Amino acid sequence: MDCVFGIDIGGTDVKIGKFYENELVYKTTIKTNREDDGRHILNDIFKKIDELLEGDNLIGIGIGVPGPVLNNSIVSSKNLGWDEVDVLNIVKEKYPNVEVVILNDANAAAVGEMAKGGAVDYHSFLFITLGTGIGGGIIVDDELIEGDTGSAGEIGHIRVGFNNERLCKCGLYDCVEQYSSATGIVKTANNLRIGRETKLNEIEVTSKNIFDLAKIGDEVALEAVNNFIEKLATALAAVTNTVNPEAIVVGGGVSKAGDFLIKRLEKRFNELCFFSVRGTKFALAKLGNDAGMYGTNYMVRKKLNEHKKV
Ligand SMILES: [Zn+2]
């Protein structure tokens, strides 16, 4: 049977999914070996693919990577230790007769949500993942916008402060991911709780605990959440004013805060955006960690179909 592998490389592990058509029939996870500048990662993946083929006919491989993808091929990723690694050609050398697609991981997740998740009803939407950092993807008229250097949708690096308070790993100051991510809100809460009465001085300060305490009215936690929302709504308003999507689809670990987060975010967003984009819908992503696998599989199939038409 014809099969495609949809793969999502993260800083800690690699998710590998085997697909028949659009159905995920098997998934597994291997550790991301970041030793020696990440030079073993692709070979580890190849080994797993060969093992999981089990007599099936491999027709495509899609890979999502944590970094920008130049010309759908060359990847620089600080998370993996990769500096201009030509992933497309390495994969093609090993599997010369199969369709290969390389995508940024957040873009892959955006496409996955479009194919099967929280964005199936939309043709144009922004996708953001709120995790350790912020990832983003932009879909317009069912097409992923990748940009000239594969960097479209890097919503996490929009500047939302002007006092050079927090240095981002990208080298700039006050990127939105320094405030509106799991690590960002912990930093904010740690600044706010000093010398104040709050449960945050009694338990571990994690993103989940901050949101949980805010829900039951802890004032310091609520202040931290409001700061998180202020910065994120500012960045989303800027992108929405530019792209005018139907919806903003929110995923990532922090999105588990659910309606409590989304309702507040939507309200503040509507106060900050241009009047004609007010009312942009907000929705939660549905596929969680599987989104990238679905997205890369979708893009491989799309390419294969385009060849058939020619
Ligand atoms: Zn940044």
Angle between helices 87-94 and 41-53 (to 10 degrees): 40
The CA 231 to ligand 1 mean position distance, Å, reads 14
The CA 176 to ligand 1 mean position distance, Å, reads 7
HSE-CB of 112 using CA atoms within 13 angstroms: 34
Q: pLDDT tens string for the chain (310 positions)?
A: 999 999 999 989 999 999 999 999 999 999 999 999 999 999 999 999 999 999 999 999 999 999 889 988 999 998 899 999 999 999 999 999 999 999 999 999 999 999 998 999 999 999 999 998 999 999 999 999 999 888 899 999 999 999 999 999 889 999 999 999 999 999 999 999 999 999 999 999 999 999 999 999 999 999 999 999 999 999 999 999 999 999 999 999 999 999 999 999 999 999 999 999 999 999 999 999 999 999 999 999 999 999 887 6
Contact 273, 281 (CB under 8 A): no
The CA 120 to ligand 1 mean position distance, Å, reads 30
Cα dihedral sign, 82-85-87-92: negative
The CA 179 to ligand 1 mean position distance, Å, reads 11
pLDDT in tens, 203-236: 999 999 999 999 999 999 999 999 999 999 999 9
* Ranges of H-type helices in the chain: 35-38, 41-53, 87-94, 105-116, 182-192, 207-215, 219-243, 259-272, 291-309
pLDDT at site 307: 86
HEC readout, 232-280: HHHHHHHHHHHHCCCEEEEECHHHHHCHHHHHHHHHHHHHHCCHHHCCC
pLDDT at site 167: 97
What are the structure tokens assigned to 92, written together? 């093609």
CA angle, 200 then 128 then 228, to 5°? 30
Spatial neighbors of 186 by CB under 8 A, at least 6 apart, are 205, 206, 207, 210
The CA 10 to ligand 1 mean position distance, Å, reads 18
Evaluate whether the domain defined by 121-285 bears CATH number 3.40.50.11750: no
The CA 129 to ligand 1 mean position distance, Å, reads 15
Query: At 265, which amino acid appears?
Result: L
Domain boundaries, the chain: 2-110+289-309, 121-285
User: From CA 288, how far away is CA 73, in angstroms rounded?
Assistant: 26
The CA 308 to ligand 1 mean position distance, Å, reads 41
- Residue with tokens 């992108």, as numbered in its chain: 239
Contact 188, 205 (CB under 8 A): no
The CA 173 to ligand 1 mean position distance, Å, reads 7
| Same fold yes or no, 2-110+289-309 and 121-285 | yes
What are the structure tokens assigned to 264, written together? 């507040």
The CA 30 to ligand 1 mean position distance, Å, reads 28
What is the fold, at CATH topology level, of the domain defined by 2-110+289-309? Answer: Nucleotidyltransferase; domain 5 (3.30.420)
pTM: 0.93
What are the structure tokens assigned to 250, written together? 């929110």
The CA 156 to ligand 1 mean position distance, Å, reads 7
